[in-house]
Amino acid sequence: MHDDPCGGAPAFHQEPPQPTNRFRTDPTLRLTLERLLPAEVFADAAPMLDRMGERVLDELMPLAEQAECNPPQHVPYDAWGRRVDTVQVDPAWTRLVQIGQQEGLVALPYEAPYGEHTRVVQAGLVNLYDPASAVADCPLVMTDGAARTLLQHDRQLADRYVPLLTTRRNAWTSGQWMTEKEGGSDVGRSSTVARRLPDGRWSLHGTKWFTSATTGQMALALARPEGAGPGSRGLSLFLLELRKADGSWNGIEVRRLKDKLGTRALPTAEIDLRGAIAVPVGEIGAGVGKLGGLLNIARLWASWGGPAGVGHLLDLARGYAPKREVFGKPLAEQPMHRAWLARICAEYEAMLALNFHTAGLVGAAEHGADPTLSRIMAPLTKLACARQAVWAGSELLESFGGAGYVEDTGLPRVFRNLHVHCIWEGTTSVLAHDVLRALRAPEHGEAWIEDVVQRLRTLALDVTRPLRQRIEAALDTLIPLINAPDERQGRRLAWGMARTCQAALLAEAAEWRLRVKNDASGLAAAELFAADGLVPPRIDGLGAQPCDALALGFAASPVQSEALHA
């Protein structure tokens, strides 16, 4: 309350929520890391995570506000009419990227101070960094993926470029140029052409519809060598530096910057390649296959970004609940509000459990473990966590009432930025297709089933028995679908696999929290999460034709009369 200068009743001003260092105040984040990391790793990494939490408050959030208020600009010509295609970004954006590099968001997996556990620590850092950075981790994602791809497929190029990409000072960033007008996620329709030059290099000609690293130093791009066959099998992967030695563009013209729903501080360009000089990554051919490792890394980061935004909003919602009075008492004292927040928190617990589990699988595979399970878990994790984050973010935005819809609170920006993770590196249906493709090799489905079954076998407490029964029932539904994957059931299958794995992970976490922390909140999260069901219901019980008619808006033939009267 403040005195009214006109002498009336005291004016009311709502006290806003204040962000905190979430490594200290977010129990889901901290306990998940503590549970999954060896004690000595957690103890060593904790100061680094705490420092990131402090930099979020002291540096990242003000920089993100500045960068979002000054979005990038494309200047196609200079004052004298020369084509320059300058992409201007606010210095705050550049600084946000630099902080991510300095804190090792790209470097850590290549320094590998914690061996196979390094990716889990990296995931914790990204969870803190992403929502406070105006999504400045986008170029860092692609840089991480590019370094991994070069190490896998071209040792000579790796020796030259990986040190530049993974240093913590004056580091390069790399783009990942796949998307074209014709194809989108269907990269087999790519029309960019690669022409061999007499000196053994190649020149690239075509249009890339989305490029999110035009302020970086290099990119990996798909192109079709002249004479190569159609479809994805005819594509090759090339590396190009964006600038020539004199600083001019390397055969690149910027058409425009994209005007997007979110990630507004991120310069995303539409470009023409007009003879851009490039070199192949490895031998010519198998370009899409070479990008597999990069996509796994990019999907891993995308799966981290959604829950990171949810954690940020949840921190603010928890801080707001004691300050906002409704119907005579604070929100924090309203049973309905507490029950609602608990349901959101259960989804957040499930997201982080899956996030960090898959990060551990990818890290282990990078250190010599069998990569079979990580291959299928990367798309499953991105599919589930991206969609769950949009649901949870929407619910949390509502907890602020009208303030959640007002731009200068900063809340709508966080929510908008959640949506990119559902589209970037594959929509839900694209990822479900990827899961179906993986299941054509039986070892992927077998590895997933065995992993869930082994986790169920480790559960020992009576209080988790109902959870075990629900997970076992979900497995009974899923195993026939895994053994005979059907495209019509693809989304249902992928969602069911992701949620069933999350439930098993939450059951494990619940028992750990009970034993180690004498804390039943993990059990509440697991039960709330599983209460809504783990495998979505089958939706075409009347047959495919009525569902197709409903989807596409035409009349369906009626079902048999006996079915109508059954």
What is the mean predicted confidence (pLDDT) over 130-138? 95
Q: What is the pLDDT of residue 501?
A: 98
Reported for 326-332, long-range contacts at CB under 8 A and 24+ positions apart, including other chains, are 331/399
DSSP label of 236: E
HSE toward the beta carbon, residue 436, CA cutoff 13 A:
17
pLDDT band of residue 28 (cuts 50, 70, 90) is very high
What is the mean predicted confidence (pLDDT) over 485-500? 94
Tokens (6 digits) for 319 = 């801080």
Q: Which of 135-144, 262-271, 499-508, 550-559 has the lowest mean pLDDT?
A: 550-559
CA-based nearest residue to 436, from 516, 358, 385, 379: 379
Q: What is the pLDDT of residue 3?
A: 54
Residue matched to tokens 């996509």: 295
The kind and range of the H/E element at 269 are: strand 269-280
The kind and range of the H/E element at 561 are: helix 561-564
According to the 3-state scheme, what is the secondary structure of 298-346? HHHHHHHHHHHHHHHHHHHHHHHCCCCEECCEEHHHCHHHHHHHHHHHH
Q: Which of 167-171, 209-213, 350-354, 428-432 has the lowest mean pLDDT?
A: 209-213
pLDDT tens per residue, range 366-395 = 999 999 999 999 999 999 999 999 999 999
Q: How many residues comprise the chain? A: 566
CA-based nearest residue to 18, from 261, 316, 260: 316
Residues 6+ apart with CB under 8 A from 237: 149, 153, 220, 221, 222, 280, 281, 282, 286, 287, 290, 291
Tokens (6 digits) for 374 = 């990580």
Q: What is the pLDDT of residue 185?
A: 67
pLDDT at 202 over 90: yes
Q: Is residue 311 within 8 Å of 28, Cβ to Cβ?
A: yes
pLDDT band of residue 134 (cuts 50, 70, 90) is very high
Q: At 366, give phi and psi (nearest 5°).
A: -70, -15
**How far apart, in whole angstroms, are the C-alpha atoms of residue 430 and residue 426?**
5
Q: What is the pLDDT of residue 348?
A: 98
Q: What is the pLDDT of residue 549?
A: 84
Q: What is the pLDDT of residue 566?
A: 46
**How far apart, in whole angstroms, are the C-alpha atoms of residue 396 and residue 348?**
11
Q: What is the pLDDT of residue 552?
A: 86
**How far apart, in whole angstroms, are the C-alpha atoms of residue 126 and residue 294?**
17
Transcribe 188-224 into DSSP letters. Answer: GG---EEEE-TTS-EEEEEEEEEES-TTSSEEEEEEE
Q: What is the pLDDT of residue 232?
A: 84
Residues 6+ apart with CB under 8 A from 556: 545, 546, 548, 549, 550
pLDDT band of residue 541 (cuts 50, 70, 90) is low
pLDDT at 326 over 80: yes
Identify how many contiguous H helices and E strands the chain contains and give both numbers.
22, 11
pLDDT tens per residue, range 399-439 = 999 999 999 999 999 999 999 999 888 899 999 999 999 99
Q: Is residue 411 within 8 Å of 486, Cβ to Cβ?
A: no
What is the mean predicted confidence (pLDDT) over 81-101? 96
User: Measured between alpha carbons, how far is residue 432 from residues 108, 380, 457, 514, 543 in Å?
Assistant: 30, 8, 28, 35, 21
pLDDT band of residue 128 (cuts 50, 70, 90) is very high
pLDDT at 353 over 90: yes
Q: What is the pLDDT of residue 11?
A: 85
A 10 A CB-CB count for 360 gives 21
pLDDT at 76 over 80: yes
Q: What is the pLDDT of residue 561?
A: 41
Tokens (6 digits) for 217 = 């130093």
What is the mean predicted confidence (pLDDT) over 209-233? 90
Tokens (6 digits) for 521 = 């909140």
| Domains of the chain and CATH, by start | 174-287 (2.40.110.20), 442-542 (no CATH)
pLDDT band of residue 161 (cuts 50, 70, 90) is very high
Cα end-to-end distance, the chain, whole Å: 66
CA-based nearest residue to 460, from 531, 541, 514: 514
Q: Letter for the amino acid at 419?
A: H
What SS3 state is found at 97?
helix
pLDDT band of residue 7 (cuts 50, 70, 90) is low
pLDDT band of residue 550 (cuts 50, 70, 90) is confident
pLDDT at 5 over 70: no
Tokens (6 digits) for 122 = 């990296």
pLDDT at 188 over 90: no
What is the mean predicted confidence (pLDDT) over 93-97? 97
Residues 6+ apart with CB under 8 A from 254: 74, 76, 85, 87, 214, 269, 270, 271
User: What crossing angle do the helices spanning 39-55 and 118-129 adopt, rounded to 10°?
Assistant: 20
- Residue 289 Cα to chain centre, angstroms: 21
Q: What is the pLDDT of residue 559?
A: 58
Q: What is the pLDDT of residue 180?
A: 80
pLDDT at 554 over 50: yes
Using only C-alpha atoms, the chain has a radius of gyration, in whole angstroms, of 25
Q: What is the pLDDT of residue 308?
A: 97
Transcribe 388-455 into DSSP letters. Answer: HHHHHHHHHHHTTGGGGG-GGGSHHHHHHHHTHHHHTT--HHHHHHHHHHHHTSHHHHHHHHHHHHHH
What mean pLDDT is reported for the chain? 93
Burial 207-242 (b: 16+ CB within 10 A, else e): bbbbbbbbbbbbbbbbbbbeebeeebebbbbbbbbb
Between 180 and 324, the more confident residue is: 324
HSE toward the beta carbon, residue 283, CA cutoff 13 A:
2
